[in-house]
Amino acid sequence: MIARASVIFVSLIASTSLSAAFDCDTANHKAAFAKMDTAFKTGLLQTAPGGGGLTVLVADALWYGMNYPQKQRFAEELTCAIAGAGKGITEMRFKSLQTGKTIGEWKLTTLNIP
């Protein structure tokens, strides 16, 4: 189920224009929220337990199925979905759902991959 859902999710990310900067306006917020809500409901994404800032667990099939521009857009859309139109998140950590290891860090507007 997760592998199939990750293929569908990656195709949704790939179908958007990655060359243009992502603008978290009201329309994009609604679309991003719907997409990320589906990702959480299907188990592709989970919030990590505990404190220490915002950490999202990401299914390996999803994360490793995306190239860097797609991961950057994914992080932008997730930020938009969580924060809301016209807002942002300064830091967010991505960890593997399968291993718990850090696979990415979002700082301001940039995704860093270890």
Where do the structural domains in the chain lie, given as residue ranges?
Answer: 2-112
Nearest to 22 by CA among 69, 90, 92: 69
**Cα gap 104→99, rounded to integer Å:** 13
Render pLDDT for 49-89 as a digit per residue (tens, 0 to 9). 876 779 999 999 999 999 999 999 999 999 999 999 999 89
CA angle in degrees (0–180, nearest 5) for 38-6-65: 140
Three-state DSSP state, 68: helix
- Give the dihedral of Cα atoms 42, 44, 50, 55; nearest 10 deg: -140
Nearest to 21 by CA among 69, 84, 53: 69
Render pLDDT for 22-36 as a digit per residue (tens, 0 to 9). 899 999 999 999 999
**pTM for this predicted structure:** 0.82
pLDDT band at 21 (very low <50, low <70, confident <90, very high): confident
